[in-house]
Amino acid sequence: MRSGSTEGLQRVGLPIRWSMALRGSPASTNRNSVTDPNESQPLIDVRLLGRDYGDVTALDDLDLEVEPGSVVAFVGQNGSGKTTALRLIAGRLEPSRGSATIAGVDVQDHQASGYLRSLVSFVPDQPALYPDLTVLDHLHVVGFAHGVDAVDERAESLITRLGLERRSHSLPRELSRGMRQKTQLACALIRPFSVLMLDEPVSGLDPGSRRELHALLGEAKAEGAAVLLSTHQIDFVEGLADRMVVLRDGEVVTVGTYAEVTAGGVAEELGLR
Amino acid sequence: MTVAVHGSSVREVLGSVRRLRRRHSPKSGADRFTDAYLGAFLFAYGIAAVGWLFDVDLTGASFSFHDTVIWMPVALFVAMWGVIRHGTWQGPVLYSTPEMQWVVSSPLDRRQLVITRLVRAGTIGAIAGAAGGLLVTIIAATMTDVGLVGVFVSATVSVIAVALTSVALAWHTERSVVLSTAVTRSSPLVAAVAGILVAGVTTGHELPVLWSGPWGWASASSIAASGGEVTGWPIMVALLVVVTVVAVGSAVVTADHIPDEELWRRAEAKSTAAAAMYFGDLRTVRRVAKRQRARSHVRGRTRTVRHPRRPWLVVPDWDLLTLRRDPSRLVTSAIFTAGAFVAAVAAAERAILGIVAFLALYAAAARLVEPIRVEVEQPDGHLMLPWTWGTVLVLHTIVPVVAMTVMGWIGIVVVGVAGFDGVSGLWPFAVVAPFAAGAFVLAAAVSAARKPFPIETLVGGGDASPVLAVLWFLVGPALAAIVINIAFGMLRTGLEGDPAGIMSSVLFLAAGTAAFATWLRTRKPASP
């Protein structure tokens, strides 16, 4: 992962920075932005992004800038728009309005989809594994497809760290929900990336695996990757997320650090604690 | 809390459940009448269809009753194997999940619970056997003037015996993990035996075929009635009776030899398969069956994909890996291809066989593009890969194209060696084969890349819905037919001595394949 994420960033042509700026919501306006003075262009730039499903607005006017080496957590109850936000930013959904760019490339630009894929590692909320491949097969296929060197060593390391050793030759149907989730996380982490997006990454994980995932994401952040994740378990992002974007019914309620969000009573108000 | 209880018999409880369920059944008397009427109507048409099949004389050869009934051992062998194999994932003793929860879990006599279902399966088998006997009699009536009563009695009794034996063996397969594993693993052996039986029939070695097992013993009396010389057929009938009695007896004796866990697994498989069948989703049914069998049949999975020279090569290697672990797709595809070659060789005399050959080749290609259907079911899976969804789909067609090409070349060599045209005369076909394989596979891939057939079209689509359903399934074959038909038209001029015909055929197939691939590459996965 170390060489991978760095390699990805180098391909993008961006320096590795741990800075981020969020804008567009009253709670965040310049209040706690940590902005690198040398910063010229965010890695992820989201402008007034929104998506409707008929009369229902799943996400409205999301405005966001994310720098390399930072973690942004979307938190909110079920149906608050977290998954929609991640999928829109990943280019997996078409927006009803607004735009999102990654490394200056519009995520809806299908001509550049190959390039975007080399930057973004995405973990959907439901484990999406191939029924006829084992855990180890998945890691090998993903690693080889992305041209990773030393796939065997990296796979072994991830399998050990995520506690999958005894199930490495199992098919997805023979795994529990948590094991499938770990497999998917391992697949996301074995490849190079500049942006890591994880939709509800801790659902189904035991406390030990949550700690290990926390550490892995911390390493990704330290190596310069931009990490976006969604969760309704806000304790998980303590000490990890630089910013939390709190969503309710598709709208940004507030943006702030973990301490700000938890101290303001928003978490309790939304039933997140 | 103490509750007064009294013992109930299995028959009482099951009868009571049946009555209660019937009371709440949404089917009215009129519905049942319609079902019965439709059943009778379809049966009558089925019989007429059988008669028509023999009248149209597809191969141009003339058949006697004896020529037809001599295939009875092969048919019975295949049917018997089908019933026994069914025991590897469902079997004759099957309860639904509610029945497992409320009936089987209650303190009823387990043995009686199993025997009740065995009797039901045996009855269904006997009815099927009688229908088989009736079919033989109908065939006899259309082709010969032998005594039909004698044919009916001998065929019916012996086919019923085979059916009962099959049900009993299916029960043993169901209750024993060891037997189930053996049955699952012996498919290649069974295919070989079926091949030997077919060879025995076609080369006129009827007697060894008849003595080879219950399928042959059960056919002996009918073949004797058709005028065949069957030495010792009464002994064969006696053997059949003994085997049937032993099989059924052993099934009854072992009636309580099945754990609850196994009945539960089968009940859940039944429930999933029934739901899938309702939506016409045969792939899910196949997958459920495979999963149920896999409990005792986990193949070694230590081998994984190799480090490819180019990253994209990992997808063909992945497809090869899954084919190696589960070669059934390849086997089915090979069977379809072989059938297509047989039909194609005979098609010179009957145009309809040309259509059969085409459809068989399309079916062979459709069977091989299973990885594309998996991608459709799992639209988020490709997010792990560096390519667009459409590109992944195209990469998944490489192994099927290569496999079909190799099967095609083998078929061409076999046809050549068998002396139809000589191998040298068939070289244009060998040249065209890879491109034709590409057209078949890519057309099948275009069809497979769509979402599964929307069953709601049939339910609420109005009068046009059956037409829409047919059109839905015709898209793939129609695309292949357009390209293949034109290309083979060009090839025909090549065979008549114009080399440009072969070249234009190849170019046209390549262009068609490229067009399909381009379309496939632009596909996007369904939105979540």
Of the pLDDT bands very low, low, confident and very high (cuts 50, 70, 90), residue B28 is confident
CA A198 to chain centre: 4
Report how many domains make up chain B. Answer: 2
Average pLDDT over residues A73-97: 92
Give the per-residue pLDDT at B424.
Answer: 64
Complex ipTM > 0.90: no
For residue B58, pLDDT beyond 60: no
**Using CB atoms, which residue from B322, B386, B527 is nearest to A132?**
B322
Average pLDDT over residues A130-151: 93
For residue A31, pLDDT beyond 60: no
Same domain for B429 and B511? yes
Q: Does the residue B516 lie in any domain?
A: yes
Same domain for B348 and B199? no
Same domain for B491 and B383? yes
- CB of A30 within 8 Å of any CB in chain B? no
Contact B384 A191 (CB under 8 A): yes
Q: Does the residue B289 lie in any domain?
A: no
Same domain for B267 and B351? no
Instruction: Give the integer Cα–Cα distance in Å for A211 and A163.
Output: 12
DSSP-derived secondary structure for B264-302? HHHHHHHHHHHHHHHTT-HHHHHHHHHHHHGGG------
Same domain for B244 and B339? no
Of the pLDDT bands very low, low, confident and very high (cuts 50, 70, 90), residue B81 is very high
Rounded to a whole number, what is the distance in Å from the CA of B400 to chain A's nearest CA? 17
Residue ranges and CATH numbers for the domains of chain A are 2-129+194-269 (3.40.50.300)
**Using CB atoms, which residue from A87, A147, A169 is nearest to B301?**
A169
Q: Does the residue B417 lie in any domain?
A: yes
Work out the percent of chain A whose per-residue pLDDT is above 90. 60
The Cα-based distances of B90 to B180, B263, B328 in angstroms read 11, 9, 19
Instruction: Give the integer Cα–Cα distance in Å for B418 and B415.
Output: 5
Which residue of chain A comes nearest to B294, CA vs CA? Answer: A174
Same domain for B132 and B257? yes
Contact A113 B388 (CB under 8 A): yes
Task: Write out chain B residues lying below 8 Å of A141, CB-based.
Answer: 305, 314-315, 318, 384-385
Structure-token pair, residue B164: 């009962």
Contact A128 B381 (CB under 8 A): yes
Same domain for B448 and B509? yes
Instruction: Give the integer Cα–Cα distance in Å for B241 and B245.
Output: 6
- CB of B315 within 8 Å of any CB in chain A? yes
For residue B148, pLDDT beyond 60: yes
Rounded to a whole number, what is the distance in Å from the CA of B418 to chain A's nearest CA? 39
**Using CB atoms, which residue from B301, B378, B383 is nearest to A130?**
B378
Contact A145 B383 (CB under 8 A): no
Contact A117 B321 (CB under 8 A): no
Same domain for B222 and B354? no
Give the per-residue pLDDT at B62.
Answer: 59
Give the per-residue pLDDT at B63.
Answer: 66
Give the per-residue pLDDT at B230.
Answer: 82
End-to-end, the C-alpha distance of chain A in Å comes to: 33
Q: Does the residue B485 lie in any domain?
A: yes
Same domain for B78 and B211? yes
Contact B374 A132 (CB under 8 A): yes
Query: Using CB atoms and an 8 Å cut-off, which of residues 405-424 of chain B contact chain A?
Result: none
- CB of A92 within 8 Å of any CB in chain B? yes
Contact indicator for B428, B494 with CB cutoff of 8 Å:
yes
Average pLDDT over residues B402-406: 97
Of the pLDDT bands very low, low, confident and very high (cuts 50, 70, 90), residue A7 is very low
Q: Does the residue B301 lie in any domain?
A: no
**Of the listed ranges B34-48, B271-285, B289-303, the one predicted with least confidence:** B289-303
Domain that residue B476 falls in: 309-521
DSSP-derived secondary structure for B442-506? HHHHHHHTSPPP-THHHHHSGGGHHHHHHHHHHHHHHHHHHHHHHHHHHHHHHHTT-HHHHHHHH
Question: Angle at which helices A135-145 and B314-325 pack, to 10 degrees?
Answer: 160
**Using CB atoms, which residue from B302, B314, B325 is nearest to A145?**
B314
Which residue of chain A comes nearest to B391, CA vs CA? Answer: A114
Q: What is the pLDDT of residues A208-247, one digit of tens each?
A: 999 999 999 999 999 999 999 999 888 899 999 999 999 9
Task: Write out chain B residues lying below 8 Å of A171, CB-based.
Answer: 301
Average pLDDT over residues B369-394: 92
- CB of B388 within 8 Å of any CB in chain A? yes
Rounded to a whole number, what is the distance in Å from the CA of A209 to chain B's nearest CA? 21
- CB of A113 within 8 Å of any CB in chain B? yes
- CB of A166 within 8 Å of any CB in chain B? no
Contact B322 A133 (CB under 8 A): yes
Give the per-residue pLDDT at A20.
Answer: 29
- CB of A182 within 8 Å of any CB in chain B? no
Q: Does the residue B49 lie in any domain?
A: yes
- CB of B97 within 8 Å of any CB in chain A? no
Q: What angle do CA B485, B491, B496 make, to 5 degrees?
A: 135
Give the per-residue pLDDT at B422.
Answer: 58
Contact B388 A144 (CB under 8 A): no
- CB of A73 within 8 Å of any CB in chain B? no
- CB of B519 within 8 Å of any CB in chain A? no
Average pLDDT over residues A55-81: 92
For residue B4, pLDDT beyond 70: no
Element (H or E) spanning A64, and its range?
Answer: strand A56-66
The mean of the pLDDT values for chain A is 83
The mean of the pLDDT values for chain B is 86
Average pLDDT over residues B426-445: 92
For residue A6, pLDDT beyond 60: no
Rounded to a whole number, what is the distance in Å from the CA of A126 to chain B's nearest CA? 9
Contact A173 B291 (CB under 8 A): yes
**Using CB atoms, which residue from B291, B305, B386 is nearest to A117?**
B386
Task: Write out chain A residues lying below 8 Å of B318, CB-based.
Answer: 133, 137, 141
Residues in chain B: 528
Instruction: Give the integer Cα–Cα distance in Å for A178 and A156.
Output: 19
Same domain for B333 and B446? yes
Average pLDDT over residues B172-201: 90
Task: Write out chain A residues lying below 8 Å of B528, CB-based.
Answer: 87, 92-93, 124
Contact indicator for A155, A190 with CB cutoff of 8 Å:
yes
Q: Does the residue B145 lie in any domain?
A: yes
Task: Write out chain A residues lying below 8 Å of B304, CB-based.
Answer: 134, 136-137, 140
Q: What is the pLDDT of residues B337-380, one digit of tens each?
A: 999 998 888 766 667 778 889 999 999 999 999 999 999 988 88
Rounded to two decimals, the pTM is: 0.78
Give the per-residue pLDDT at A5.
Answer: 43
- CB of A98 within 8 Å of any CB in chain B? no
Report which DSSP code applies to B100.
Answer: I
Give the per-residue pLDDT at B420.
Answer: 62
**Using CB atoms, which residue from B304, B315, B385 is nearest to A136?**
B304
Rounded to a whole number, what is the distance in Å from the CA of A185 to chain B's nearest CA? 10
Contact indicator for B446, B472 with CB cutoff of 8 Å:
no
For residue B239, pLDDT beyond 80: yes
Same domain for B313 and B265? no
Question: Angle at which helices B214-225 and B148-175 pack, to 10 degrees?
Answer: 170
The Cα-based distances of A6 to A102, A114, B24, B84, B486 in angstroms read 16, 18, 66, 58, 53
Give the per-residue pLDDT at A27.
Answer: 33
Of the pLDDT bands very low, low, confident and very high (cuts 50, 70, 90), residue A22 is very low
Q: Does the residue B281 lie in any domain?
A: no
Give the per-residue pLDDT at B469.
Answer: 79
**Residue A214: other Cβ atoms inside 10 A:** 17
Structure-token pair, residue A156: 């072994």
Q: What is the pLDDT of residues B128-139, one digit of tens each?
A: 989 988 888 888
Same domain for B209 and B80? yes
Give the per-residue pLDDT at B207.
Answer: 87
Higher pLDDT, B523 or A32: B523
Higher pLDDT, B335 or B422: B335
Average pLDDT over residues A86-94: 91
Give the per-residue pLDDT at B212.
Answer: 92
Rounded to a whole number, what is the distance in Å from the CA of B154 to chain A's nearest CA? 48
Of the pLDDT bands very low, low, confident and very high (cuts 50, 70, 90), residue B68 is confident
For residue A128, pLDDT beyond 80: yes
- CB of A112 within 8 Å of any CB in chain B? no
Instruction: Give the integer Cα–Cα distance in Å for B111 and B24.
Output: 29
**Of the listed ranges A68-77, A212-221, B16-25, the one predicted with least confidence:** B16-25
Probe site for chain A from B307, B315, B376, B383 (most A CB atoms < 10 A):
B383
Rounded to a whole number, what is the distance in Å from the CA of A26 to chain B's nearest CA? 32
Contact indicator for A148, A154 with CB cutoff of 8 Å:
yes
Give the per-residue pLDDT at B302.
Answer: 73
- CB of A145 within 8 Å of any CB in chain B? yes
